[in-house]
Amino acid sequence: MAVQPATITEQLTEPGDPPAPTDRRAEFAALLRGDSTRPFLTSAWQHFVGEEYDPVRFARATVDFNRSWDWDWVKINPRAVYYSEAWGSVYDENDYTGVVPRLVSAAITGVADLAKIRRLDPRTNPALAEHIASARLIREQLPDLALIQTVFSPLSVLLQLAGLPSYPGGEVAGSATQLTRDDLLRTDPERTHAALAAIAQTFADYVALLVAPVDEGGAGLDGIFYAVTGTASGDFFDRQAFEEYSGPYDRKVLEAVGDGQVVFHTCRADSHPEWFTGYPIDALHWDQFLSRNPALDTDFGVTVVGGVNNELFAVGGDRTEVAAQLGATLAASPKRPFLLAPSCTIPTPADPDSLRRLRDAR
């Protein structure tokens, strides 16, 4: 369904709201440059199940969550499947497994379907236009905060389009695919790379609109949160294969950010953050608490992101361990200003006392 941003804005905006100051956006940019006067900035993010398929409700939930906790910067955390919905995968918005809706039909059911993955126009594609509109609404309501939109890598999306997991050991609820990862990537390399290139070009166009000023038709965001999901795990690819299937397409998307900021995320265990130090990124986020991952105080030459195990934020989680990890992270003093945040998306719902400890650490 095409989204009319002006109509949505009228629904979301409360008359008489005073304009907010904009210096916190400058703080975020300064920290990522390494010249902030503050040692860290704090944020957390979660999924808003039940609100994700309506751009007004999603924008409102995002604004309310971030205003309630007064985070220093905002990762917009949309539904985890909108990327593949853009090319025709269908999910049941009323049937979630955890925070991911159940797959009804995949856009790619056989290798021949790779030829259907073409470049899309994000201004008219329903899934992408919807998220530009919701991002614009969030910007209007949070003018004082740095906002970054979540974008998955083309390789992650190609796997998603075929109903394949993008995390080692993962399962896709509802998927009936008979394809394997090797079938998808190696049976017809020419079509595989053409599909990856089409996704990358689409996302480059999309990212350019996200960071473009509102008066030029963009969303006015500060940058993106770019996730390769779990595809950098050694259980999926060695470095040579990862560079073949992900590297050039990642760079295509990242270059479209221009002067905006990029927070880069590599997920799960054995996630190889060191592979990405040559990418055009400003900050690097990985789970320091999982096996074969480095400590947060490792010097990668960019701003690091992390500090607390995201799983501890579940309702009934160990609040004393949250406090202990916060204390250990702050005592370790990363070598430059950093972004204090959970190691990944926090559970829905999250424990408010644990969130309060994170917020009050500053």
pLDDT of residue 11: 53
Distances (CA, A) of 343 to 124, 191, 231, 253, 288: 34, 35, 17, 24, 7
Is residue 2 one of the residues assigned to a domain? no
Q: How many domains are there within the chain?
A: 1
> Which of the four pLDDT bands, split at 50, 70 and 90, describes residue 332?
confident
Of 112, 250, 237, give the one whose Cα is nearest residue 183: 112
pTM of the predicted model as reported, rounded to 2 decimal places: 0.94
User: 303 lies in which domain range?
Assistant: 38-360
| pLDDT (mean) for 210-236 | 97
The phi, psi pair for 51, rounded to 5°, reads: -115, -5
| pLDDT (mean) for 149-170 | 97
pLDDT of residue 207: 98
More confident call, 116 vs 9: 116
pLDDT of residue 335: 74
pLDDT in tens, 284-319: 999 999 999 999 999 999 999 999 999 999 999 899
pLDDT of residue 14: 52
The conformation of residue 115, written as its DSSP 8-state character, comes to G
Is residue 82 one of the residues assigned to a domain? yes
For the cut 70, the answer to whether the pLDDT of residue 10 exceeds it is no
Question: If you compute the radius of gyration of the chain from its CA atoms, what whole number of angstroms results?
Answer: 19
pLDDT in tens, 56-108: 999 999 999 999 999 999 999 999 999 999 999 999 999 999 999 999 999 99
CA distance 208 to 254: 10
Is residue 16 one of the residues assigned to a domain? no
Beta strands in 187-313 (DSSP E): 223-227, 261-265, 283-285, 303-308
Is residue 116 one of the residues assigned to a domain? yes
CATH of residue 56's domain is 3.20.20.210
For the cut 80, the answer to whether the pLDDT of residue 2 exceeds it is no
Contact 23, 144 (CB under 8 A): yes
Contact 269, 250 (CB under 8 A): no
Is residue 24 one of the residues assigned to a domain? no
CA distance 136 to 125: 16
For the cut 80, the answer to whether the pLDDT of residue 148 exceeds it is yes
Question: What does pLDDT average to over the chain?
Answer: 94
CA distance 331 to 47: 30
Is residue 121 one of the residues assigned to a domain? yes
| pLDDT (mean) for 262-284 | 98
Write the DSSP string, 3-48: --HHHHHHHHPPTTPPPPP-HHHHHHHHHHHT--SSSEEE------
Q: Scan for tokens 């949160």, then name that residue.
A: 225
Positive or negative torsion for Cα 249, 135, 3, 346: positive
Is residue 44 one of the residues assigned to a domain? yes
> Which of the four pLDDT bands, split at 50, 70 and 90, describes residue 362?
confident
Positive or negative torsion for Cα 184, 190, 195, 196: positive
Of 281, 214, 217, give the one whose Cα is nearest residue 253: 281
CA distance 290 to 269: 5
Contact 280, 226 (CB under 8 A): no
Is residue 31 one of the residues assigned to a domain? no
For the cut 60, the answer to whether the pLDDT of residue 252 exceeds it is yes
> Which of the four pLDDT bands, split at 50, 70 and 90, describes residue 145?
very high
